[in-house]
């Protein structure tokens, strides 16, 4: 099978140029001008941007939080990803049973994803304790599964204490593994989440007050210092949401702190805490960390424009139903602390970054590729196989027509959830088609692939390791 994408504006993370891309079977074989190939299917990309498929390194498909389960399984969630131009995900696992081996969730996630995912996928491992065999298991999983990143949480039931995080970081550095951290101060937010409902403050608008930006900033700062004390261990901060948190990152950047990766998520760039004003609608946006103020959004955009501060834009995609089915979001109706945390975003991310970022002049087109595709792959050991258009790499490609429009309404939604946080928005630009390893998986917002098309990705080492 040969295909040639003709006359598009090709976008990489460094440049934009007019050209053609020749694909043979699953790979890109040539990128250049006037590529002739008689036996190739021709895809006309005149007037379109031709970019590497987007890569979302923070999703929670089929997440089981005990009292609720995310409504997108690996099929529905990756169909939404595909329709939104995302051809690879790296999913963050749920916690397993108490005291389980690190292998428990790896095996469980293969059971959930294999044969179901429609885009290529990998997993981040997760620590929920530090026992005798934990670090040996981590090394085995890296060797046998190509899982080169693990997560720790500083809050929730299976949070790690600082001494444990310190040991994890030290062992991970030794093993060439990146530790990703959910940074929030557990003590303060636990106290606030207890106090606020006791004072009768049960509505959604109290959710952001229960998890203040300084909870994030304190934990970001603490992790940066603990990672330094662990021998400059590779550290990746997930879902940075606030200006206060960003300032801690900027301080570390100014000190040239090595081996630090930072992710924000699309919702922190697009939405603000006015989403919580309405007691009912506000449940849709209950997620942790919460949405912040416009000032926070603006500073995050500025950091993206400046470059070298934030590395990736992901989603933390973790949808629950608002009204349909079990309507899990309604568990928070009388008390926001009972609402399952999370919202959809895997389908919307790329076009939001394109429309609100590039088309509105906040960031450049190569920066869209950098934050949505290339850097996520460098951070998690998939580059250049994913996230680039280099000859010899996977032909994962998204074509965007900048003259088109994307209306986000109920009909737009391809995942299982019954709402989008972005309903009512009309975006500049439209995804024309999406290729995964050379095969079309989405066109004009419709899924055209098949269940199980996605392949499990064994990942290599992060750029945070090789930098030293």
459 with 382: CB under 8 angstroms?
yes
Distance CA 151, CA 360 (A): 34
Task: Name which of 8 and 342 has its Cβ closer to Zn ion.
Answer: 342
Sheet holding 312-314, edge to edge: 54-59, 86-92, 120-126, 149-153, 178-182, 235-240, 260-265, 312-314
Task: Name which of 117 and 181 has its Cβ closer to Zn ion.
Answer: 181
* Stretch binding Zn ion (CB under 5 A), from 294-302, 308-316, 329-337, 435-443: 308-316
CB of residue 86 vs Zn ion: minimum separation in angstroms? 16
Q: Is 316 near Zn ion (CB under 5 A)?
A: yes
CB of residue 151 vs Zn ion: minimum separation in angstroms? 8
Q: Is 263 near Zn ion (CB under 5 A)?
A: no
Nearest residue to Zn ion on Cβ basis: 316
CB of residue 154 vs Zn ion: minimum separation in angstroms? 13
162 with 132: CB under 8 angstroms?
no
Which residue is listed with tokens 């670090």?
135
Q: Is 91 near Zn ion (CB under 5 A)?
A: no
Which residue is listed with tokens 């031709």?
50
Task: Name which of 315 and 462 has its Cβ closer to Zn ion.
Answer: 315
CB of residue 92 vs Zn ion: minimum separation in angstroms? 5
Q: Which tokens belong to 123?
A: 């997993």
Kindly determine how many residues on this chain lie close enough to bind Zn ion according to the rule CB under 5 A: 1
Binding mask 369-388 for Zn ion (x = CB under 5 A): --------------------
Residue 299: asked if its preceding bond is cis (omega within 30°), the reply is no
* Stretch binding Zn ion (CB under 5 A), from 276-284, 315-323, 389-397, 401-409: 315-323
CB of residue 58 vs Zn ion: minimum separation in angstroms? 6
Task: Name which of 7 and 242 has its Cβ closer to Zn ion.
Answer: 242
Task: Name which of 316 and 356 has its Cβ closer to Zn ion.
Answer: 316
CB of residue 384 vs Zn ion: minimum separation in angstroms? 26
CA gyration radius, the chain: 21
CB of residue 297 vs Zn ion: minimum separation in angstroms? 19
Q: Is 348 near Zn ion (CB under 5 A)?
A: no
Which residue is listed with tokens 């951070």?
379
CA 306 to mean position of chain CA atoms: 21
Task: Name which of 316 and 348 has its Cβ closer to Zn ion.
Answer: 316
Task: Name which of 48 and 343 has its Cβ closer to Zn ion.
Answer: 343
115 with 74: CB under 8 angstroms?
no
CB of residue 448 vs Zn ion: minimum separation in angstroms? 29
Q: Is 244 near Zn ion (CB under 5 A)?
A: no
CB of residue 240 vs Zn ion: minimum separation in angstroms? 12
Task: Name which of 273 and 316 has its Cβ closer to Zn ion.
Answer: 316
Q: How far is CA 339 from CA 280, 282, 330, in A?
A: 12, 11, 7
Q: What is the DSSP letter of 399?
A: E
Interior/surface letters 239-264, b for 16+ CB within 10 angstroms, e for the rest: bbbbbbbbebbbebbeeebebbbbbb
* Stretch binding Zn ion (CB under 5 A), from 42-50, 170-178, 316-324, 402-410: 316-324
Angle at 301 between CA 125 and CA 61, to 5 degrees: 30
User: Which secondary structure element, helix H or strand E, spans residue 144, and what is its range?
Assistant: helix 134-145
Task: Name which of 48 and 313 has its Cβ closer to Zn ion.
Answer: 313
Instruction: Tell me how crowded residue 54 is: count the other CB atoms within 10 A of its CB.
Output: 32
- Which positions touch Zn ion (CB under 5 A)? 316
């Amino acid at each position: 099978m040969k295909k040639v994408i003709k006359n598009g504006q090709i976008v990489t993370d460094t440049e934009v140029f007019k050209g053609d891309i020749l694909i043979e079977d699953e790979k890109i074989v040539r990128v250049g001008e006037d590529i002739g190939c008689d036996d190739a299917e021709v895809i006309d990309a005149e007037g379109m941007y031709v970019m590497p498929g987007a890569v979302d390194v923070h999703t929670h498909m089929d997440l089981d939080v005990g009292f609720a389960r995310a409504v997108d399984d690996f099929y529905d969630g990756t169909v939404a990803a595909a329709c939104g131009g995302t051809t690879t995900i790296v999913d963050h696992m749920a916690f397993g049973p108490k005291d389980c081996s690190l292998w428990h969730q790896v095996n469980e996630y293969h059971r959930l994803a294999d044969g179901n995912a429609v885009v290529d996928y990998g997993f981040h491992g997760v620590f929920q304790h530090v026992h005798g065999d934990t670090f040996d298991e981590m090394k085995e999983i890296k060797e046998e599964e190509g899982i080169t990143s693990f997560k720790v949480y500083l809050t929730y039931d299976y949070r790690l204490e600082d001494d444990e995080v310190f040991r994890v970081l030290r062992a991970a550095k030794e093993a060439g593994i990146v530790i990703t951290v959910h940074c929030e101060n557990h003590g303060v937010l636990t106290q606030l989440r207890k106090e606020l409902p006791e004072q009768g403050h049960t509505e959604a608008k109290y959710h952001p007050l229960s998890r203040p930006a300084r909870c994030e900033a304190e934990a970001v700062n603490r992790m940066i210092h603990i990672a330094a004390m662990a021998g400059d261990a590779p550290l990746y901060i997930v879902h940075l949401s606030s200006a206060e948190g960003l300032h801690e990152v900027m301080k570390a950047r100014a000190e040239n702190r090595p081996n630090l990766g930072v992710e924000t998520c699309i919702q922190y760039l697009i939405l603000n805490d006015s989403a919580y004003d309405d007691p009912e609608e506000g449940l849709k946006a209950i997620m942790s960390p919460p949405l912040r103020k416009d000032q926070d959004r603006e500073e995050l955009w500025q950091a993206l424009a400046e470059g070298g501060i934030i590395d990736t834009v992901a989603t933390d995609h973790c949808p629950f139903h608002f009204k349909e089915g079990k309507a899990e979001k309604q568990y928070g109706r009388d008390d926001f602390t009972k609402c399952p945390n999370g919202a959809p975003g895997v389908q919307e991310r790329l076009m939001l970054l394109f429309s609100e970022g590039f088309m509105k002049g906040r960031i450049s087109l190569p920066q869209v590729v950098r934050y949505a595709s290339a850097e996520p792959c460098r951070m998690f050991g998939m580059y250049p196989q994913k996230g680039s258009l280099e000859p010899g790499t996977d032909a994962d490609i998204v074509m965007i027509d900048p003259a088109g429009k994307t209306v986000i309404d109920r009909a737009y939604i391809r995942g299982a959830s019954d709402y989008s946080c972005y309903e009512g928005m009309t975006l500049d630009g439209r995804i024309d088609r999406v290729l995964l390893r050379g095969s079309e998986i989405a066109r004009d917002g419709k899924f055209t692939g098949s269940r199980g098309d996605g392949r499990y990705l064994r990942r290599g080492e992060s750029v945070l390791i090789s930098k030293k």
